[in-house]
Structure 1
Amino acid sequence: MSNDSRFLLSHVARTGVFALMVCLPALLLYCDIHWLTDGVGEWSLVELTQEGFLLASALAFVRLARKRVDDRRFAVLAAGMFACMLLREMDAVFDLLLHGLWKWLAVPVAVASIVYALQDWRAAVSGLVRFLNTRAGTLMTIGLVLLLCYARLIGLTSLWNGLLGESYIRVFKNAIEETTELLGYTFILAASLAHVAQRMRAAATPRVEAAVPEQTLRQL
C-alpha cells in the first residue's frame, strides 16, 4: 500500500471517530427524551456520561503520573483539575448531604495538586508544553474552550428568555447547554486517553543509541 493510500485511510478513520464524538451528545439526548422521558435532569444519560468522562480523564492522568516520572507533576495537576470538575458536576448529589459540600471537597484536591506541581514547577511546565505540542493538546484546548466559554455563553438564561419570550421553557436551554458541555467533555476525554497512550508507548519503546567507536588519535 502506498503512502498516499495509508494517509487517506488514516484520515477517513480519524474523520469517522470525530463524527462519532460529535454525534454522541445528540444521540444521548435522543435517548433521554424518547426512551427515558426524563429530559436532561441530574440523572439523565447526558449528565451521567459527563461525569463518567470526567472520571475517566482524571484516572487517565493518574495512570500517567504513576508510570512516567517526567510527566508526574503535570499529570497530577491535570488529574486534580478534572477531579475538581467532577466534584462540581456532582454538586446535586453532594447537596443531598450538605448544600455546597462539593466546594469543601474540591478545595483540598485543588490545593494538594497545585502544591505538588509547584514543588518542581519546571517539570510541571515541561510536561504541559510537551502535551500542548501534540494533537491531543490541540484537542484538549478545543474541548476546554467549548466547555468553559461557548457552553457558558449559549446557556445564558437571558439569551433564551430574549429568544423565546413567553414561550421560554428551561428544558430547551438545558438541552443545548448540557449537550454542548458533553461535547467538550468528549474532546477532553479523547485528548486525555490519546496523550496517555502516546506517553505509555514512548515509555515502552527502548531507546537505541548509536554507539560511536572511540578512535585513538596519534600525532606523528
Structure 2
Amino acid sequence: MPPSPLPPKLPTPIGFGATCLRAMLYILLITGLMQGIYYEALYLQDVRFSEYGFTELAQIVFLCIISALLLYIRHVLKALPTVTLLMFAFVFSSLVRELDYFFDTYVFDGAWQVIVTLVILPSLFMVIRKRHAFLAEFERYANSFSFGLFASGFLVTYVFSRFFGRSELWIAILNENYARTFKDIVEEVTELLGYSLILIAVIELIMLARRWRA
C-alpha cells in the first residue's frame, strides 16, 4: 500500500482552561443570537423574519464569515485544500441561495441558480480530479471535533429544519390556529442554529490547522 500523502500527525493537546474559554464564548454567541431573535420579534414588526429581519441577515453574515474563513484555511494556512474547497463551495452556494431574492430582483430571475452552478461544478471537478488527496485529507479531518460540529450543523440546517418546518406538521399541531408565519419562524431560527454550528466548526478547524503546523 502506498504511503498516505498526509501522514497522521497528532495536534498539540488543548488545555482545560482553553476549552472552557471557548465553550463560554460559544455559549455567549448562541445567547446573543437568541436575544437578537427576541428583539426582532418584539421591536421589528415591519420586517421581522423577512429578508430584512435580524434572523435572515444573521444567516447571511454567518455564511459570509464562514466562506471567508474557509478561504483563509485553504490559502493562508494551506490545510486540507481539497476538503476546504468542497466545504467552501457548499457554504458559498448556501449564501447565494439565501440571497436569491436579491439576485432574482436586481440581476435577473434565476441568477442565483447560475451562480451556484458556476461555483459547484468547477469545485466538484477539482475534488474528483484530486480524489486521492481528498480521501486522505478527509480521513484526517473526520476524526476531529470540528468535523463533528460541521456534520451536526449540516444535519440541523439541511435535514432537521426542512422536516421541522413542514406545513403539514404545524397544521397537525396547531389545527385551526395554524399560521404560516409561525412555521416560517421555526424553520428560519433552526437554520440559524445550524449555521452557528457550522461557524463554530470552521473556527475549530482554524485552531486545529494551526496546531497541526505547530
TM over 0.5: yes
Q: Assess if the C-alpha contact under 8 Å between 1:143 and 1:187 holds in 2.
A: yes
Aligned to 1:76: 85
Structure 1 70/41 Cα, relative in aligned 2: closer, same or farther at 3 Å? closer
Post-superposition shift, 1:56?
1.2
Aligned to 2:201: 191
Distance in 2 (alpha carbons) for counterparts of 1:87 and 1:25: 22
2:131 to 121, 131, 149: 121
Post-superposition shift, 1:18?
4.1
Aligned to 1:150: 160
TM-score by length of 2: 0.84
Aligned to 2:43: 35
Secondary structure of the residue aligned to 1:99 is: coil
Post-superposition shift, 1:125?
1.9
Structure 1 12/67 Cα, relative in aligned 2: closer, same or farther at 3 Å? closer
Which AA in structure 2 matches 1:119?
Answer: R
Aligned residue pairs, count: 198
Structure 2 unaligned blocks of 5 or more: 1-14
TM-score by length of 1: 0.82
Q: Is the counterpart of residue 173 in structure 1 residue 180 in structure 2? A: no
Structure 1 161/55 Cα, relative in aligned 2: closer, same or farther at 3 Å? same
Which AA in structure 1 matches 2:94?
Answer: M
Instruction: Write out aligned runs for 1:82-93 (5 A).
Output: 82-93=91-102
Q: Assess if the C-alpha contact under 8 Å between 1:29 and 1:46 holds in 2.
A: yes
Post-superposition shift, 1:155?
0.3
Post-superposition shift, 1:185?
0.2
Post-superposition shift, 1:198?
2.2
When Rg is computed on C-alpha atoms for both structures, the one with the higher figure is 1
Structure 1 161/21 Cα, relative in aligned 2: closer, same or farther at 3 Å? same
Q: Assess if the C-alpha contact under 8 Å between 2:73 and 2:79 holds in 1.
A: no
Deviations along 1:95-133, whole A, 9 cap, x unmatched? 213232211110110001111122211111222222221
Aligned to 1:108: 118
Distance in 1 (alpha carbons) for counterparts of 2:25 and 2:133: 33
Aligned to 2:172: 162
RMSD: 1.9
187-196 or 26-35: which moved more? Answer: 26-35
Q: Assess if the C-alpha contact under 8 Å between 2:79 and 2:209 holds in 1.
A: no
Distance in 2 (alpha carbons) for counterparts of 1:54 and 1:184: 11
Identity percentage of aligned residues: 25
Aligned to 2:25: 17
